[in-house]
């Protein structure tokens, strides 16, 4: 009989689940345990996972319809053939499994993930969770940092909470990268993911509120650009205080799940080309069809 253990990892949020087997279809106990852990902790790692891409996808679909990758590889002539097409490849490997040099142009855009962000806030579908599985992990480097933005919202001064209650932010994938120094972004690239707006305060299913900001936020509806960016940066600085951060040190077989509605995360750079890092992400939405993020209206 399946025996599961849930243990907290941080004073504010984050937990680990021990004893899960993802090589078989997830049963009600596992699904319920994960749902409850995510509702309370927002970030959950399932340890010692041995799962194929198909297992990974099957498990993710137990929690919502998949958000499919937008196929950005087509812009540099690459095809995502190394892993299942339903998964996002966040590795430092090319389609043949060779290490992509850290200094290469191809990895330059990915460095935007080193700023705290929430996945897929730049499209209209309401992304729910990301589920990132570690197939191969370097012996050092590549930690992932997380912030519970429910705790951040709760800690904001009351006058700030009142100020942001009815505001909406502009989320723009390409503009967010430009603000970090990216160049060479074409009109074709922009057309795949045009800007969208979301409330600065997001309400979770249990009624808790979270601050919905991050690296993709590039403006506030109705505000001048300069004023909006300054205020967003003030919120970002408040949210990224050390007391709010959980540092995840990866182990092979970790399946790390985070709730994009109420967390921020950032990658830390793996600056060496000595080690392989093979991590693959499934992303689920709250509802809707399984379509590419780039195909959303």
- Look at strands 278-285 and 88-89 and give their pairing: antiparallel
Task: Tally the residues of the chain.
Answer: 297
User: pLDDT for 135-187, tens place per residue?
Assistant: 999 988 889 999 999 999 999 999 999 999 999 999 988 877 777 777 777 88
Averaged pLDDT for residues 34-51: 98
| Cβ-contact 122, 173 below 8 angstroms | yes
Sorted by where each starts, the structural domains of the chain and their CATH numbers stand as 5-295 (3.60.130.10)
* Confidence (pLDDT) at 140: 85
- If one counts every other C-beta atom within 10 angstroms of the C-beta of residue 169, the result is 27
* Confidence (pLDDT) at 295: 57
Which DSSP string corresponds to 164-207? HTT-EEEE-HHHHHHHTT-----HHHHHHS--EEEESEEE-TTS
Confidence of residue 76 (pLDDT cuts 50, 70, 90): very low
Confidence of residue 70 (pLDDT cuts 50, 70, 90): confident
């Amino acid at each position: 009989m399946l025996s599961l253990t849930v243990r907290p990892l941080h004073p504010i949020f984050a937990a680990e689940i021990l004893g899960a087997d993802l090589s078989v279809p997830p049963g009600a106990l596992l699904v319920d345990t994960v749902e409850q852990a995510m509702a309370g902790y927002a970030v959950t790692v399932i340890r010692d996972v041995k799962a194929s891409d198909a297992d990974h996808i099957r498990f993710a679909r137990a929690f919502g319809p998949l958000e499919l990758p937008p196929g950005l590889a087509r812009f540099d002539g690459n095809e995502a053939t190394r892993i299942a097409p339903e998964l996002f490849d966040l590795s430092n490997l090319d389609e043949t499994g060779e290490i992509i040099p850290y200094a290469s142009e191809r990895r330059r855009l990915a460095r935007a993930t080193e700023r705290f962000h929430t996945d897929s806030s730049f499209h209209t579908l309401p992304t729910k969770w990301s589920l990132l599985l570690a197939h191969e992990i370097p012996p050092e480097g590549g930690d992932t940092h997380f912030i519970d933005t429910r705790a951040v919202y709760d800690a904001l001064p009351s006058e700030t909470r009142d100020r942001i209650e009815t505001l909406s932010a502009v989320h723009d994938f390409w503009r967010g990268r430009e603000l970090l120094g990216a160049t060479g972004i074409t009109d074709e690239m922009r057309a795949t993911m045009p800007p969208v707006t979301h409330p600065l305060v997001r309400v979770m299913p249990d009624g808790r509120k979270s601050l919905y900001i991050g690296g993709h936020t590039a403006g506030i509806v109705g505000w001048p650009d300069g004023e909006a960016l300054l205020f967003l940066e003030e919120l970002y600085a408040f949210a990224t205080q050390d007391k709010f951060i959980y540092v995840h040190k990866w182990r092979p077989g970790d399946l790390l799940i985070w709730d994009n509605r109420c967390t921020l995360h950032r990658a830390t750079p793996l600056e060496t080309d000595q080690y392989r890092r093979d991590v693959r992400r499934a992303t689920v939405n709250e509802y809707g069809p399984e379509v590419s993020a780039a195909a959303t209206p």
